[in-house]
Amino acid sequence: MYDQEDALVAFPADTPKHWGDWGMLVDTPLRFYGEEFRLPVAILNAMYSAKLGKPIGLNRKHFIEVAHYVAASHPRYLLWFRRALQVYGRAGLLKEQDRSGNWAKRVRSYLFEMKEDPEKFASDQSHQLLVEFLFPELVPLPVWP
Protein backbone atom coordinates (compact mmCIF):
# COMPACT_ATOMS: atom_id res chain seq x y z
CA MET A 1 0.00 0.00 0.00
CA TYR A 2 1.20 3.49 -0.83
CA ASP A 3 0.83 4.71 2.75
CA GLN A 4 3.07 1.86 3.96
CA GLU A 5 6.08 2.53 1.69
CA ASP A 6 7.96 4.33 4.47
CA ALA A 7 7.58 1.32 6.76
CA LEU A 8 8.89 -0.98 4.02
CA VAL A 9 11.90 1.25 3.40
CA ALA A 10 12.60 1.33 7.16
CA PHE A 11 12.42 -2.48 7.41
CA PRO A 12 14.04 -4.13 9.39
CA ALA A 13 14.52 -1.15 11.74
CA ASP A 14 10.77 -1.24 12.41
CA THR A 15 10.79 -4.98 13.02
CA PRO A 16 9.46 -6.10 16.39
CA LYS A 17 12.25 -7.09 18.77
CA HIS A 18 10.60 -10.44 19.52
CA TRP A 19 11.36 -11.64 15.96
CA GLY A 20 14.62 -13.00 17.27
CA ASP A 21 17.77 -13.62 15.28
CA TRP A 22 16.34 -13.65 11.75
CA GLY A 23 16.80 -17.38 11.54
CA MET A 24 13.80 -17.51 9.20
CA LEU A 25 15.97 -15.90 6.51
CA VAL A 26 18.90 -18.31 6.62
CA ASP A 27 17.75 -20.42 3.67
CA THR A 28 16.76 -17.54 1.41
CA PRO A 29 18.74 -15.05 -0.70
CA LEU A 30 17.94 -12.46 1.97
CA ARG A 31 20.87 -13.82 3.97
CA PHE A 32 23.20 -11.97 1.57
CA TYR A 33 21.85 -8.57 2.57
CA GLY A 34 23.61 -8.53 5.93
CA GLU A 35 23.42 -5.46 8.15
CA GLU A 36 22.77 -3.13 5.20
CA PHE A 37 19.54 -5.04 4.43
CA ARG A 38 18.23 -2.78 1.68
CA LEU A 39 15.66 -4.57 -0.42
CA PRO A 40 15.34 -3.45 -4.05
CA VAL A 41 11.83 -2.14 -3.51
CA ALA A 42 11.45 -0.59 -6.98
CA ILE A 43 12.18 -3.78 -8.89
CA LEU A 44 10.16 -5.94 -6.50
CA ASN A 45 7.16 -3.64 -6.93
CA ALA A 46 7.58 -3.74 -10.71
CA MET A 47 7.90 -7.53 -10.82
CA TYR A 48 4.87 -8.13 -8.60
CA SER A 49 2.96 -5.61 -10.71
CA ALA A 50 3.87 -7.56 -13.86
CA LYS A 51 2.89 -10.83 -12.22
CA LEU A 52 -0.51 -9.54 -11.11
CA GLY A 53 -1.20 -7.14 -13.99
CA LYS A 54 -1.85 -4.15 -11.77
CA PRO A 55 0.26 -1.64 -9.82
CA ILE A 56 1.66 -3.15 -6.63
CA GLY A 57 3.49 -0.99 -4.10
CA LEU A 58 3.59 2.00 -6.45
CA ASN A 59 1.39 5.05 -6.45
CA ARG A 60 0.08 4.38 -9.96
CA LYS A 61 -3.46 3.83 -11.21
CA HIS A 62 -2.83 1.71 -14.32
CA PHE A 63 -0.38 -1.06 -15.12
CA ILE A 64 0.98 0.83 -18.13
CA GLU A 65 2.18 3.54 -15.75
CA VAL A 66 4.34 0.92 -14.03
CA ALA A 67 5.85 -0.02 -17.39
CA HIS A 68 6.63 3.63 -18.16
CA TYR A 69 8.15 4.02 -14.69
CA VAL A 70 10.48 1.05 -15.13
CA ALA A 71 11.54 2.10 -18.64
CA ALA A 72 12.21 5.70 -17.59
CA SER A 73 13.67 5.23 -14.11
CA HIS A 74 15.21 1.75 -13.98
CA PRO A 75 16.81 0.83 -17.31
CA ARG A 76 19.09 -1.70 -15.55
CA TYR A 77 15.97 -3.71 -14.60
CA LEU A 78 14.15 -3.27 -17.90
CA LEU A 79 15.30 -6.62 -19.31
CA TRP A 80 13.94 -8.44 -16.25
CA PHE A 81 10.69 -6.51 -16.45
CA ARG A 82 10.37 -7.41 -20.14
CA ARG A 83 10.97 -11.06 -19.24
CA ALA A 84 8.19 -10.82 -16.65
CA LEU A 85 5.85 -9.25 -19.24
CA GLN A 86 6.57 -12.18 -21.55
CA VAL A 87 6.18 -14.93 -18.95
CA TYR A 88 3.04 -13.44 -17.38
CA GLY A 89 1.48 -12.57 -20.74
CA ARG A 90 1.05 -8.85 -20.09
CA ALA A 91 1.73 -7.56 -23.64
CA GLY A 92 -1.98 -7.52 -24.42
CA LEU A 93 -2.72 -5.53 -21.29
CA LEU A 94 -0.11 -2.93 -22.22
CA LYS A 95 -1.51 -2.64 -25.76
CA GLU A 96 -5.01 -2.27 -24.35
CA GLN A 97 -3.96 0.49 -21.96
CA ASP A 98 -1.76 2.30 -24.53
CA ARG A 99 -4.53 4.50 -25.90
CA SER A 100 -2.16 7.38 -26.66
CA GLY A 101 0.49 5.23 -28.35
CA ASN A 102 3.15 6.56 -25.97
CA TRP A 103 4.13 3.11 -24.75
CA ALA A 104 4.66 1.87 -28.32
CA LYS A 105 6.88 4.92 -28.96
CA ARG A 106 8.81 4.29 -25.76
CA VAL A 107 9.40 0.64 -26.71
CA ARG A 108 10.73 1.62 -30.14
CA SER A 109 12.94 4.22 -28.48
CA TYR A 110 14.48 1.95 -25.86
CA LEU A 111 14.97 -0.90 -28.34
CA PHE A 112 16.96 1.52 -30.51
CA GLU A 113 18.90 2.70 -27.44
CA MET A 114 19.67 -0.91 -26.50
CA LYS A 115 21.43 -1.35 -29.83
CA GLU A 116 23.29 1.95 -29.51
CA ASP A 117 24.23 1.73 -25.81
CA PRO A 118 23.72 -1.82 -24.48
CA GLU A 119 25.71 -1.06 -21.31
CA LYS A 120 22.93 1.29 -20.14
CA PHE A 121 20.51 -1.66 -20.12
CA ALA A 122 22.82 -4.39 -18.79
CA SER A 123 21.03 -5.99 -15.84
CA ASP A 124 22.01 -4.94 -12.35
CA GLN A 125 22.76 -8.40 -11.01
CA SER A 126 23.23 -7.36 -7.39
CA HIS A 127 19.68 -8.56 -6.62
CA GLN A 128 19.47 -11.42 -9.10
CA LEU A 129 19.42 -14.19 -6.48
CA LEU A 130 16.53 -12.54 -4.67
CA VAL A 131 14.50 -11.99 -7.84
CA GLU A 132 15.15 -15.58 -8.98
CA PHE A 133 14.10 -16.87 -5.56
CA LEU A 134 10.86 -14.87 -5.54
CA PHE A 135 10.08 -15.40 -9.24
CA PRO A 136 11.57 -18.78 -10.23
CA GLU A 137 9.35 -18.90 -13.32
CA LEU A 138 11.42 -16.04 -14.79
CA VAL A 139 14.70 -17.96 -14.71
CA PRO A 140 16.93 -17.48 -16.61
CA LEU A 141 16.91 -13.72 -16.16
CA PRO A 142 18.52 -11.88 -19.08
CA VAL A 143 21.79 -10.10 -18.40
CA TRP A 144 22.61 -8.29 -21.63
CA PRO A 145 20.35 -6.77 -24.29
Looking at the domain assignment, is residue 13 inside a domain?
no
Distances (CA, A) of 105 to 71, 97, 98, 99, 128: 12, 14, 10, 12, 29
Task: Indicate whether 80 belongs to any domain.
Answer: yes
Task: Please say if the pLDDT value at position 9 is more than 70.
Answer: no
Residue 100's domain comprises 39-138
Q: Is residue 8 part of a domain?
A: no
Q: Is 56 within a domain?
A: yes
pTM higher than 0.85, yes or no?
no
CB of 74 closer than 8 Å to CB of 42: yes
Residue 14 lies in a domain: no
Tens-place pLDDT, residues 89-110: 999 999 999 999 999 999 999 9
CA 137 – CA 145 distance, rounded (Å): 20
- Whether 18 is in a domain gets the answer no
pLDDT at 26 over 90: no
* C-alpha–C-alpha distance, residues 68 and 63, integer Å: 9
Number of structural domains found in the chain: 1
Q: What is the mean pLDDT of the chain?
A: 84
At 24, is the pLDDT very low, low, confident or very high (cuts 50, 70, 90)?
Answer: very low
The residues near 90 (Cβ < 8 Å, ≥ 6 apart) are 50, 53, 63, 84
Cα(5)–Cα(44) distance, integer angstroms: 12
